[in-house]
């Protein structure tokens, strides 16, 4: 039944649900905040990695 995990139509249903829950006006702000969070996480992980090397 779940041989390949996520299929394209699963992602389509997920996108429709997200749009229905958050509405089209909040999506750009949410995506911007998510991108900013990912950038911060990457920079912190890079700083921790560089901190460990002599």
Position 31 in a domain:
yes
Position 49 in a domain:
yes
pLDDT digits (tens, 9 = 90+) for 17-42: 888 887 878 888 888 999 999 999 99
Position 33 in a domain:
yes
CA distance 31 to 36: 9
Position 42 in a domain:
yes
Position 17 in a domain:
no
Position 43 in a domain:
yes
- Average confidence (pLDDT) over 3-10: 74
Position 12 in a domain:
no
Q: How many domains would you assign to the chain? A: 1
Burial label for 42, CB within 10 Å (0-12, 13-18, 19+), is exposed
Domain that holds residue 42: 24-54
Position 51 in a domain:
yes
**Residue partners of 30: CB distance under 8 A and separation at least 6:** 22
- pLDDT confidence band for 3 (50 / 70 / 90): low
Does residue 47 surpass a pLDDT of 80?
yes
């Amino acid at each position: 039944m779940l041989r390949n995990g996520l299929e394209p139509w699963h992602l389509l249903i997920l996108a429709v649900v997200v749009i229905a829950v958050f509405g089209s006006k909040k999506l750009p702000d949410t995506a911007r905040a998510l991108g900013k969070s990912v950038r911060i996480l990457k920079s912190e992980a890079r700083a921790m990695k560089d901190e460990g090397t002599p």
